[in-house]
Amino acid sequence: MTYLPAQRLPGLEGLRALAILLVFLRHNAYFFLEMQGKEPAQSPLWNLMLNGWIGVDLFFVLSGYLITVSLLRTHRHDWKTYAQKRFLRIVPAYVGVLALCVLGAFPFYVVPAEDLSWRVFYHLIFLQDYLPANINVVFWSLGVEEKFYIVAPFLILFLAGGSKEMAPRRLIFWVVGLIAVGGALRLLSFLVADPQNYAAFFENVRAPFHANWETLLLGVAIAFWRERKGALLPAQARNVFYAGLAGMTLLMASHEMMHTVGLFDALLQPLLVAACMALLVFSVVAGYSNRLLDNGAARYLSRISYSFYLVHFPLAPAVLYLWSIWGAGAFWVYSAAYLCISLLAATALHFALEKPFLDMKDRLAVRAAPKGA
């Protein structure tokens, strides 16, 4: 089999860019409303922004897909190289921003000193999805990612059944079964914790690794489909993309999801969000792309998306301060300033800290690639 790096699929960069923009919209709106002490207007536009947290689910589907493709195409189980590549991809930039937060390098962003040593410790061992992510809230998803990196090689070996030709019935049976188990565990967490507000719901039902199982597994399933040389006609791939986009938009615009929490939010809503994100990724893997997904701006934002994700949240208080001394103009003035400052900071972090380690990771990937790559 010819080694084709999954990252080179047309449009995949666009989905990464979409994911980070969705997350940014969420925090952009959240900080503004918190500073104003206002409740959001009940409108589709505010709902779209406040529901941007589902961009993390898109990241998880992409992660499930990319890690699985990488493992399936290695043709050997080089655990050392796999661990090194995962470390170089995530840890250096993460630890760098963690240190900046703790040292107070982000103006007006205060990390409480109480039990700080303990909190830093469990962040360093990536337990912040099960313990409070109270140094930089976006760190919670990295706890999920790291646990998936540990589980993924064993999961992929099991699903592949030791054969290059993966039996589709076996794959469907186990993926559906594992998704059901994930949903059951999330429901159990909800019933045991009985969260009365969003903060409690987030810590017990949204953030933990087991609560995000569906999105990761759907990415895994898409990768297996592609490795079996699955294909769609161009019109079919386009229809799948617009079905996912329409479903995502309708969900986001309909209401502020998880404004109040209930059984629907714990069980059915995550499945709907995961399905929409999986349709988007599936359509691109099947060959669909367009100018919005595959262009220079999308590719650049995709390249710095991890750095952007790490730094944009602790930058918000400084942006709000600047906005206030400028005379507290329109919301869109604040949003533009927040976006520009986040892009500049993400670019600096990417080239100063993230890229050197990514270059090392790429060199490892070249050495580990199958012959004839």
Residue 25: inside a domain, yes or no? yes
The pLDDT value recorded for residue 5 is 44
What type of residue is 9?
L
Domain of 90 in residue numbering reads as 6-314+341-368
CA distances from 347 to 140, 305, 322, 341, 353 (A): 22, 9, 21, 10, 10
CA distances from 35 to 79, 258, 319 (A): 47, 20, 11
In a domain, 331, yes or no: no
Total H helices, total E strands in the chain: 15, 0
pTM: 0.94
Q: Which residues of the chain have pLDDT under 70?
A: 1-8, 74-77, 162-167, 327-328, 368-373
Residue 334, domain member (yes or no): no
In this prediction, residue 6 carries a pLDDT of 44
What pLDDT, on a 0 to 100 scale, did the predictor assign at position 325?
Answer: 81
CB atoms near residue 221 (< 10 Å): 24
Distance between CA atoms of residues 159 and 179, nearest Å: 14
Q: Count of domains in the chain? A: 1
Nearest to 309, CA basis, from 86, 75, 17, 87: 17
* 205 is a domain residue: yes
Q: Is residue 332 part of a domain?
A: no
pLDDT at 12 (0 to 100) = 94
Question: Does the residue 130 lie in any domain?
Answer: yes
8 Å CB contact between 179 and 217: yes
Asked if residue 44 belongs to a domain, the reply is: yes
Measured CA to CA in angstroms, residue 145 lies from 150, 171, 350 at distances of: 9, 22, 19
CA dist 254 and 42 (Å) reads 10
Phi first, then psi: what are they for 71, rounded to 5°? -70, -40
Sign of CA dihedral 21, 27, 33, 36: negative
Which pLDDT score, from 0 to 100, does residue 151 have?
A: 95
pLDDT of residue 4: 37
* pLDDT at residue number 1: 29
